[in-house]
Structure 1
């Protein structure tokens, strides 16, 4: 199988021959949208176009009509959030009229995005399940990529934590490798922090497994020290988390202040069931 370099060179040579013979590259045939949903007539969905340099040579360059849009689509796909959730969870689709709390959540998200800078303050929603915390946080992640071109990753606490705790109890190299992306990515959304963890009494988290707490502190402390933007959602308040571990709670507070909101009220998922 020929290498990528050979393929690109063959493309360049073919385009150069067309330019030499006809003076221009023939218009491409109509193309169907690529897997990312973007159709570009100019480059035929390759993301590349031929350019003629001042010295008459032909080279390949990013397609100015679609390359940035394809980068955004790629970052969305690789974030770890399902495409269906991306379709459902947008700022436009979030109904802020359903309650005063919902309006506060959406207003805070819009204000945070207006003032966002790379490596800036995080964002956090804490409180009752079914209030739309995940919806708003995923919508914020999408806007980070669409408005600012910044990559983001989705950390499902329930899905990721068990394997990280297991790795922390075995070989350090395995653990370091497993944690690297989460510790170093530019923007990270931690969804449902401490969900189904530890012991809960009267709706408050009162104890947590020591190994799990070490992993969580390691992750959040690394992001705190390196000033990496982190988005949180959790059923537990920052104050509750601080009572479990003061150092952890205080770091989370500093990372999201002043863009943190405690959400209470009627569970909207249950409300829709009547």
Structure 2
């Protein structure tokens, strides 16, 4: 009896290439892109196979945290239907320590590891990514490569959006005025969010900013973010949602 060969990718049989009969040529299989993205996730310190980064390890402790978890589960289940709609994003906002990163990363690892039709998900840690973009602004080839990765990603996770503009739950101020987004900030983040908004590309966001704070930073960007998230938004307000510090407060 001949033993059936088990392939990691049923589409290309682990060759990395798929034959296109219409064009009479081979094209690179999506599994190659997904493998590359998993390496990029790991370079950010996240192992996409890690069992701790699963939604069943997020333990709700009140109605709001349960709502956030349930919305994430629903988002994953209905992703194929949502992805072509305007409201195809997902957003968690507010209190530090509420488990926002846990949830958005769990969504990403679930989509990228789906057995059937896995989704290429790009993970973008906001602070590190902005530093890299700003440091390479004079290197056109590398800078454009980074921007293209974030703009065109099938799904983009932006973790800790505008982390550098907030401290202890409040927007940074100088001489009584909100510091806000400067020209350099807007040059890098606006094209990403705007491109994804115009092209209906799903963006998953975690941020310590509340919607009101986003509006104070930039109303146009806030509008795009909030519109695309639609009802898939949870806002954590108050120190009681700082799960990491609950034993010390």
TM tier, shorter chain?
0.7 to 0.9
1:262 match: 235
With the length of structure 1 as denominator, give the TM-score of the two structures. Answer: 0.68
Task: Give the gaps of 5 or more residues in structure 2.
Answer: 15-28, 173-177
Partner SS, residue 92 of structure 1: helix
Partner residue of 2:192 out of 219, 225, 228: 219
In 2, Cα distance between equivalents of 1:99 and 1:106: 11
CA–CA distance in 2 between the matches of 1:201 and 1:90? Answer: 28
Partner of 1:13: none
Is this contact kept in 2: 1:223–1:230, CA < 8 A?
A: yes
Deviation at 1:183, TM superposition (A): 0.6
Q: Does the 8 Å contact 1:101/1:264 carry over to 2?
A: no
Whole-angstrom distance in 2 between the partners of 1:84 and 1:47: 16
Aligned position for 1:151: 120
Ranked by relative contact order (alpha carbons within 8 Å, sequence separation 6 or more), the top structure is: 2
CA contact (8 A) 2:94 2:169 kept: no
Flag the 1:171–1:79 CA change in 2: closer, same or farther, 3 A: closer
- Does residue 129 (structure 1) correspond to residue 96 (structure 2)? The answer is yes
Cα separation, 2, equivalents of 1:179 and 1:142: 22
Q: Is structure 2 residue 216 aligned with structure 1 residue 253? A: no
Structure of higher CA gyration radius: 1
Unaligned runs of 5+ in 1: 1-23, 28-40, 50-60
Normalising to structure 2: TM-score of the pair?
0.75
Correspondence 1:74 to 2:41: no
User: How far apart, CA to CA, are the structure 2 residues paired with 1:47 and 1:230?
Assistant: 28
Question: Is the contact between residue 48 and residue 109 of structure 2 (CA under 8 Å) also seen in structure 1?
Answer: no
Residue 88 of structure 1: CA displacement? 1.4
User: What is the alpha-carbon distance in structure 2 between the residues aligned to residue 203 and residue 225 of structure 1?
Assistant: 30
2:105 matched residue in structure 1:
138
CA 1:125–1:171 in 2, change beyond 3 Å: closer, same or farther? Answer: same
| 1:62 correspondence with 2:13 | yes
